[in-house]
Amino acid sequence: MTAELEQIGKQAQAAAFKLGQLATTAKNQVLQAMAQALRTEQTAILTANQQDLLAADNLPQKFIDRLRLTSERIEQMAQGMEQVATLPDPVGTVERGWVNHAGLRIVQQHVPLGVVGIIYEARPNVTVDAAALCFKSGNAVILRGGKEALQTNLKLGAVMRQVLADFKQPVNAIQVISDPSHETAKRLMQLTKYLDVLIPRGSSRLIQAVVKQATVPVIETGAGNCHVYVDESADFAMAENIILNAKCQRPSVCNSMEKLLVHEKIAAAFLPELANKLRTAGVELRGDEKVQQLLGSTIVPATAADWDTEYNDLILAIKIVPSLTAAISHINQHGTKHSETIVTQNYENSEHFLTAVDAAAVYVNASTRFTDGFEYGFGAEIGISTQKLHARGPMGLPELTTTKYLVRGNGQIRK
Amino acid sequence: MTAELEQIGKQAQAAAFKLGQLATTAKNQVLQAMAQALRTEQTAILTANQQDLLAADNLPQKFIDRLRLTSERIEQMAQGMEQVATLPDPVGTVERGWVNHAGLRIVQQHVPLGVVGIIYEARPNVTVDAAALCFKSGNAVILRGGKEALQTNLKLGAVMRQVLADFKQPVNAIQVISDPSHETAKRLMQLTKYLDVLIPRGSSRLIQAVVKQATVPVIETGAGNCHVYVDESADFAMAENIILNAKCQRPSVCNSMEKLLVHEKIAAAFLPELANKLRTAGVELRGDEKVQQLLGSTIVPATAADWDTEYNDLILAIKIVPSLTAAISHINQHGTKHSETIVTQNYENSEHFLTAVDAAAVYVNASTRFTDGFEYGFGAEIGISTQKLHARGPMGLPELTTTKYLVRGNGQIRK
């Protein structure tokens, strides 16, 4: 597989060279045709997916739910591609430009990253989604999805590649790795000669494994141990609304709330009613000693590990804090720098929280669930970066580009 | 040292938290005082440097030249710090802002990266330079320079830390690692809990070692196998000027020219006179077979390895190419994506070169030597990024920041 992977890298690089110079209209035509092809090839895609599902028979139901394709899900994928076609093309946009002291005309322009590697779990929708975003931003993509989705991914890849061939565009703009071994995944993470960036998508376990093994630059995405802090000045009804939304609307995702911090002065007045509503919504409540004292024996005692755990489930750990400063310090120590919210009516506290909390997105009086490329109006999302380099927070198409300085002179030399 | 390094990381993070909220005027005052302190403490600094120089006695002259401090060099360091004080503060500048569909007021604002690690060679000027840039951009810095400069670096660090103490600012904003072992350097590269980014500065050997061992995100800097391509339409006098400047003005640095590509149609008319001038300037010429035929036996035959080698010396390898396409393809295969120049009078060729060459900076009719933060007008430079993530090309103060989304709402929840 080493030689084969080398070949895949080389092909991707050659494709990327052509993609970088492709007109926006040409790219959009291909995306629209790919969407259509997904619909036309629905039966073949579902058959491939059936193979994967049969093999995955003894895996957990939640896992199988993500792996399973239906007509409706294929239609969603197709519509997603059409949506990407309507988005502005980031390639060629000028970041800034000026004339330097020597008269050089310098322009900083957006260009594709080049070759993007995506390592993800058994979610076939990522295959189509990532391929569409990379293609629109002029990048060649190498896809390495979870082995349980291999037949589905290979079929989806074949459908998209056929469209590229029909349009006489480089088919290796989209490549699905057919060898599902860990060894090959590891080699991909170290394919520095051909890969410009690696984006892992999935559980924090997957992401940490990639960060540890990769020599290719990685964009970390998705780990979210998000907090809501209810300040002593908070409007209780607003706080309740935000907490129920942030915790319950979609507990499995990274921007859902995992921890609640409450100012000690309002805990007794605020928590009992909230706890009832959360329980009614099916949320298991854990808490520190003060919370246990206040809410009684139904509260599961929170261990030290709880404060660092992303549940991705209907579980919430609650802590009572003596001050805003204590809340900020707890968040900066235990958070994953994803999304953090304060609920407050106090101007100074809101500004201090915004400044002092170190996270990709910091909110005043809003649900953490808004940290999302679509909610932010980007029209797409390749992931939510929780690192500080390159991109931070929801990443849309522009985040799949880099820049290049184009410098036009008339014979200038350096003194 | 493991525990000590952990402590250094923790201290840096605590300092970074305060630095991120420091007013620009406060930062500038400290930088000006540090510049003054470097002057006042000159004798002590030179004494420490003398210790390092004595121990380095048997090392190459070139190495010792870089290690040696003089009154003049200390004055340059001080002036550099004062210059950084005059630059605009990138922290707090707003990248963009808008209101989303739910009425959330979203602002993307520049904030410091946090804790920056710098790994570099025995060049004491980097200690002061990096400390000034990191401090101005609100970052805490951990400095790990070459062991041969340890006494000098520790003294420079002590001088700057004393100023921080005098101004009641966090002294751990600047920390110099006192243990020069490789083991500690490696541990620093994996201090993901505290470090936000690692910037290696120095030889490509150093940089590659960091890229391989680091789990902290790295910004690769400085490898430059830069080309000048002389198109068939080139103005010979201009081409000669640019080549002599790009090769000879300062051959040891990354933006100097290492390879010359010449269109075959003009090679016979252009190369002989140029070769004489280069030889007069002390440049050793290497060439492919055609160049050898044309210029005779004084040309050292270029091996395959030559095309991938960054000499950082008065050596130039010349290749005759059949076309612009061949030149671009050679550059994209062998270049380090740093700085590439075409000399041409042809509009279409200039545009094609700008588009098709994959590098941080692509030039038409100008010397590669311009790729530099000062030449670009940034007023400072922490390095020249040759990678595509985060920053590409010369990195000034804004490149030492990341962004954070500040989102102000009035109770919004996600539907």
| Chain B residues within 8 A of A94 when measuring between CB atoms | none
pLDDT higher than 80, residue A125: yes
Rounded CA gap, B68 and B76, in Å? 13
Q: What is the strand order of the sheet A284-287 is part of?
A: A300-301, A284-287, A315-321, A257-263, A226-230, A339-343, A361-366, B401-412, B105-112, B94-99
Q: With 0-12 CB in 10 A as exposed, 13-18 as middle and 19+ as buried, what is B206?
A: middle
- A98–B377 CB contact, under 8 Å: yes
Which pLDDT score, from 0 to 100, does residue B340 have? Answer: 98
Of B104, B370, B392, the CB nearest to A370: B104
Q: Using CB atoms and an 8 Å cut-off, which of residues 197-226 of chain B contact chain A?
A: 197, 211-212, 215, 217-219
Which CB contacts under 8 angstroms, 24+ apart, belong to A326-331?
A327/A227, A327/A229, A327/A261, A327/A263, A327/A353, A328/A352, A328/A353, A328/A356, A328/A357, A330/A227, A330/A261, A331/A227, A331/A229, A331/A261, A331/A357, A331/A359
CB pairs under 8 A between A and B: 211
Q: What percent of chain A is modeled with pLDDT above 70?
A: 100
- A402–B388 CB contact, under 8 Å: yes
Asked if A33 is an interface residue toward chain B (Cβ–Cβ < 8 A), one would say no
Asked if A59 is an interface residue toward chain B (Cβ–Cβ < 8 A), one would say no
- B21–A100 CB contact, under 8 Å: no
Which pLDDT score, from 0 to 100, does residue B10 have? Answer: 96
A140, β-bridge pairs:
A115
At B71 the three-state DSSP class reads helix
**How far off is chain A from B330, nearest CA to CA, in Å?**
13
Asked if B23 is an interface residue toward chain A (Cβ–Cβ < 8 A), one would say no
pLDDT band, residue B282 (cuts 50/70/90): very high
For A252-280, what is each residue's pLDDT tens digit? 899 999 999 999 999 999 999 999 999 99
Rounded CA gap, A117 and A128, in Å? 14
Lowest mean pLDDT among A86-95, B93-102, B179-188: B179-188
pLDDT band, residue A91 (cuts 50/70/90): very high
Asked if A106 is an interface residue toward chain B (Cβ–Cβ < 8 A), one would say yes
Which pLDDT score, from 0 to 100, does residue A194 have? Answer: 94
Place of tokens 């985060």: B390
Of A217, A238, A360, the CB nearest to B405: A360
Average pLDDT over chain B reads: 95
B319, β-bridge pairs:
B261
Q: Where are the domains of chain A?
A: 2-220+387-408, 226-370
- B412–A376 CB contact, under 8 Å: no
CB contact set of A122 (below 8 Å; sequence gap of 6+): A52, A56, A63, A66, A67, A145, A146, A147, A148, A149
Asked if B18 is an interface residue toward chain A (Cβ–Cβ < 8 A), one would say no
pLDDT higher than 80, residue A234: yes
Rounded CA gap, A104 and B363, in Å? 9
Are the C-beta atoms of A149 and A122 separated by less than 8 Å? yes
Are the C-beta atoms of B224 and A396 separated by less than 8 Å? no
Rounded CA gap, B112 and A381, in Å? 25
pLDDT higher than 80, residue A96: yes
**How far off is chain A from B196, nearest CA to CA, in Å?**
7
For B356-383, what is each residue's pLDDT tens digit? 999 999 999 999 999 999 999 999 899 9
CA end-to-end span of chain B, whole Å?
Answer: 51
Segment B6-31 mean pLDDT: 97
- A366–B332 CB contact, under 8 Å: no
**How far off is chain A from B347, nearest CA to CA, in Å?**
11
Asked if B43 is an interface residue toward chain A (Cβ–Cβ < 8 A), one would say no
Which pLDDT score, from 0 to 100, does residue A39 have? Answer: 98
Question: Which of B388, B399, B403, B408 to mutate against chain A (most A CBs within 10 Å)?
Answer: B388
Of B20, B244, B412, the CB nearest to A367: B412
**How far off is chain B from A382, nearest CA to CA, in Å?**
15
| Chain A residues within 8 A of B235 when measuring between CB atoms | 411
pLDDT higher than 60, residue A57: yes
Which pLDDT score, from 0 to 100, does residue B208 have? Answer: 86
Of B100, B104, B376, the CB nearest to A106: B376
Asked if B407 is an interface residue toward chain A (Cβ–Cβ < 8 A), one would say yes
Which pLDDT score, from 0 to 100, does residue B1 have? Answer: 55
Which string of DSSP letters, residue by residue, matches B275-333?
Answer: HHHHHHTTPEEEE-HHHHHHH-TTSEEPPGGGGG----SSEEEEEEESSHHHHHHHHHH
- A362–B405 CB contact, under 8 Å: yes
Using left for φ > 0, alpha for ψ between -120 and 50, and beta otherwise, residue A89 falls in beta
Segment B310-339 mean pLDDT: 96
For A289-331, what is each residue's pLDDT tens digit? 999 999 988 899 999 999 999 999 999 999 999 999 999 999 9
Are the C-beta atoms of B196 and A388 separated by less than 8 Å? yes
pLDDT higher than 60, residue B166: yes
Rounded CA gap, A341 and A343, in Å? 7
Which pLDDT score, from 0 to 100, does residue A1 have? Answer: 55
pLDDT band, residue A362 (cuts 50/70/90): very high
Of B238, B375, B388, the CB nearest to A100: B375
Which pLDDT score, from 0 to 100, does residue B318 have? Answer: 98
Report the top-level CATH class of A2-220+387-408: alpha beta
| Chain A residues within 8 A of B17 when measuring between CB atoms | 332, 356, 358
Pick the CATH number of B226-370 from 3.40.309.10, 1.10.10.10, 3.40.50.720, 3.40.190.10: 3.40.309.10
**How far off is chain A from B384, nearest CA to CA, in Å?**
12
Which pLDDT score, from 0 to 100, does residue A411 have? Answer: 97
Count the helices and strands in chain B (H runs, E runs).
14, 16
Q: Using CB atoms and an 8 Å cut-off, which of residues 326-355 of chain B contact chain A?
A: 332, 350, 354-355
Asked if B263 is an interface residue toward chain A (Cβ–Cβ < 8 A), one would say no
Segment B268-273 mean pLDDT: 97
For A365-387, what is each residue's pLDDT tens digit? 999 999 999 999 999 899 999 98
User: In whole angstroms, what separates CA B59 from the centre of its chain?
Assistant: 25
Which pLDDT score, from 0 to 100, does residue A3 have? Answer: 84
pLDDT higher than 90, residue B221: no
Look at B258 and B297; give whichever has higher pLDDT: B258
Of A21, A113, A215, the CB nearest to B212: A215
Which pLDDT score, from 0 to 100, does residue A221 have? Answer: 85
